[in-house]
């Protein structure tokens, strides 16, 4: 069965992409912000052992098993900076799940599109 192409609403598309750009970023933009000293806090929500094997330079680790620990969360997230969250890949939902939780607690959040996999495969600097 063939899928029929449907022309969607231009106004709905505009809103979707405006929202997407407001809450996601890519590796190039993130690297630029970090190097320019923009108010960005990079947060790796992968498991601690994966973070230890390699992560984005300057990233803090906040694995899921620590999300309920208010003291740890407060030490790793900032309310006066954009907290850019990333997980394993573009199909991993850990960062999006964390973004919902932390935004509900008043933290400004964005998600790194492509996560660790895109950062690493595109040849950006890695810290161990």
Q: Cα Rg for the chain, rounded, in angstroms?
A: 16
Question: Is 108 a residue whose pLDDT tops 90?
Answer: yes
Give the span between the Cα atoms of 91 and 96, in whole angstroms.
10
Question: Is 7 a residue whose pLDDT tops 90?
Answer: no
Averaged pLDDT for residues 52-73:
97
Question: Is 57 a residue whose pLDDT tops 90?
Answer: yes
All structural domains of the chain, each given as residue ranges with its CATH number in brackets, are 20-121 (3.40.250.10)
Closest CA to 107 of 19, 15, 41: 41
pTM equals: 0.91
Q: pLDDT for 82-99, tens place per residue?
A: 999 999 999 999 999 999
């Amino acid at each position: 069965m063939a899928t029929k192409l449907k022309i969607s609403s231009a106004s709905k598309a505009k809103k979707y992409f405006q929202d997407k750009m407001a809450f996601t970023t890519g590796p190039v933009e993130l690297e630029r912000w970090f190097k320019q000293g923009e108010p960005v806090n990079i947060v790796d929500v992968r498991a601690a052992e994966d973070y230890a094997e390699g992560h984005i330079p300057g990233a803090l680790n906040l694995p899921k098993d620590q999300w309920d620990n208010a003291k740890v969360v407060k030490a790793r997230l900032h309310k006066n900076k954009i907290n850019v969250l990333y997980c394993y890949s573009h199909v991993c939902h850990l960062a999006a799940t964390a973004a919902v939780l932390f935004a509900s607690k008043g933290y400004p959040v964005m998600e790194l599109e492509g996560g660790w996999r895109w950062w690493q495969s595109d040849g950006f600097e890695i810290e161990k």
